[in-house]
Structure formats: structure tokens, C-alpha cells
Amino acid sequence: MDNASQTAERSDSAVARGGSAPPAISVRHLRMGYGERVLLDDASFDVQRGEIMVILGGSGCGKSSLMKNIIGLYQPMAGDILIAGKSIVNTRPAEKALLQRSLGVMYQSGALFGSLNVLENVRFPLDQFTDLGLDEKNLTSRMLLHQVEMAYAESLMPGELSGGMLKRAGIARAMALGCDILLLDEPSAGLDPITAANLDRTILNLRKGLGFTFIVVTHELQSIFAVADRAIMLDPVSRSIIAEGKPADLRDHNTDPRVRQFFNRQPDKAVQQAQG
């Protein structure tokens, strides 16, 4: 089975699982940016349950900012963002905190707490929000580390980890509270090909086994084709979503020169020539 048909099958099954339930994440007419500077205007898209959606685009187009709007760290300029049908924008702080807790987030750097070792970092959400005993929390945390192939590093401090290890431990921590919506910011950026492929496999295993929904911010083409059911592409000039669809379709059939340039890794001059 080729990549495109695999992706199509994944996407169809994801939508089927979604059923009549509200989308895991729904972005409605979003305008976001910093101060007066608008990065994205009138953006709308849904992420269905069990789907792996990739947000892609060149550096500085607002991918990470969009993710931070979705998880409620930044306030949009306009529009709304719904998590399982509930607005994270127009809500009281206590409800917003509950919605945020239902999202597992891995930040670009892993964002592990420097004063705790890896196991304690992964256990941290369980310590804060559950009434499990220490043995149970340790077992759960170690199994999470096992899932991301970090079991051997459980006693290390964050300062002793490589970039890839930090990211994988960050994913394990994001999963600790059983969140079924995970947002990953540049998970494979800066990783060696084997570690990046392992991470992609981890994402697919989690979706297959536990039905997780993923939003992955990335511009790593190999990872996009390996994991994504669907992708949206942001453009910093038009400040809009310029393409949405299955990655293989975008690569093979999209006529927008910016999309073709991205998927074919063409330098700027080639696009200018194509535009005439």
C-alpha cells in the first residue's frame, strides 16, 4: 500500500471514529498575532477525533503561535477555538484551566523542569492531580517512558539529556494525565533521522492504540508524510491558510506555487519564475 492510500485510510477511519461527536478541536474565524501585527486572519479548520493534523509552513509563519492560541496561552484578536465543543477563548479562568488540562502539550524544547529528574518530570502531573499511590504513579510513569523509548534515562536530570531525549520525555509527560488530544511543537526538529523516525512511530502507535488526536507543528517533510492524515499550510505573506488536505495530495495536485515550492524544497527563485 502506498503512502497516499495509507493516509487516506487513516483519515477515513479517523473521521469514522469521530462520528457525530464534536470535533476534538475547532478553530473558527481566528485572527491572531502580537500587538498590532497580525500573523493569521480568518482561519477556520477542524481536527477530528483520532486524526493527526499537521500545521506546516515556513519559519516565522505563525505555526507555534497558532498552537499557543489553541492551548489558550495566547488570546486571539478575534474568532473562537473550541476544545471538544467548548470554547477556550470565551470562558472563565477555572473552566479554561480544566480545558487546558485536557490537552497534552509538548513544547519545542521539551520544557522539562530542571530540578526534577526524568521520572519525576513525567510523574509530576500524576502527583498534582491524582490520588494514585507512589508505586502506581511510578509504574505508570515508567510505562510512559517505555512507550517513548526513554526507560533507560529515567534517573537522569534534564541537563544531562540530548534534544531528542528532552522531546520524548516531554511527550511522555504530556500523556501522563491520559489526555487524548496531544499537541506537539516541532517534535522532530533537530533530531537525527533514526530518532525522528522513532518519534513518528511513537505518534502512530499512540493513535492506533489509544485513539489519540494529534496536532503536530512541523516543517519536516519526512515526518509530515509519515504521520499526517491531513495538513494545513500557513503563509506569512497572505496571513492565511493557503492549503488544506492530505499531504500527498498537496504535494502532487496542489497548483499553488507556494505549496509546490514547500513540498518540492525549491528555492525562492524557482517560484518567481513559475509565477512568471
Partner 1 sequence: MTTAKSVGSDASIVLEGRITAYTAGPVWQAALDTLAKNPNRPVVVDAARLEHIDDVGIAFLFDLLRQQRPPTAKVEITNLSPGFAALVAGYDPKDFVQPPKVRQRIGVFEQMGRATEAQIAYAEQMVDFLGDCARAVWGAIRRPGSNRWGEILDIATEAGANAVPIVLLVGFLMGVIIAFQIGLVAQQFGAVIYVVNGVGVAMLRELGPLMTAIVVAGRTGAAFAAQIGTQKVNEEVNAITTFGVNPIQFLVLPRLIAATLVVPLLAILADVVGIFGGALVMVGFNIGFVQFYNQLLGAVSAGDFVIGIVKAAAFGLAIAVIGCERGLATGAGATSVGLSTTSAVVTSIVVIVVIDGIFTIFTS
Region near partner 1 per CB under 8 A, out of 56-64, 175-183, 186-194, 246-254 = 175-183
Q: Give the Cα separation of 3 and 36 in Å (integer).
A: 42
Region near partner 1 per CB under 8 A, out of 31-39, 46-54, 129-137, 268-276 = 129-137
Beta bridge partners of 55: 217, 232
CB nearer partner 1, residue 64 or residue 130: 130
Determine if 140 is a binding residue for partner 1 (CB under 8 A).
Answer: yes
Determine if 143 is a binding residue for partner 1 (CB under 8 A).
Answer: yes
Count of chain residues binding partner 1 (CB under 8 A): 32
CB nearer partner 1, residue 200 or residue 235: 200
Query: Please, what is the minimum distance in Å from the beta carbon of residue 69 to partner 1?
Result: 25
Residues 145-174 binding partner 1 (CB under 8 A) are 146, 151, 154-155, 158-160
Q: Which helix (H) or strand (E) holds 52?
A: strand 52-56
Region near partner 1 per CB under 8 A, out of 36-44, 87-95, 121-129, 246-254 = 121-129
Exposure on the CB side of residue 232, measured as CA atoms within 13 A: 21
Q: Give the Cα separation of 68 and 52 in Å (integer).
A: 18
Distances (CA, A) of 104 to 54, 178, 221, 251: 16, 8, 23, 30
The answer for residues whose C-beta is within 8 angstroms of residue 171's C-beta and 6 or more apart is 104, 106, 148, 182, 184, 187, 199, 202
Q: Site residues (CB under 8 A) for partner 1?
A: 114-115, 117, 119, 125-126, 129-133, 136, 138-140, 142-144, 146, 151, 154-155, 158-160, 175-178, 180, 209-210
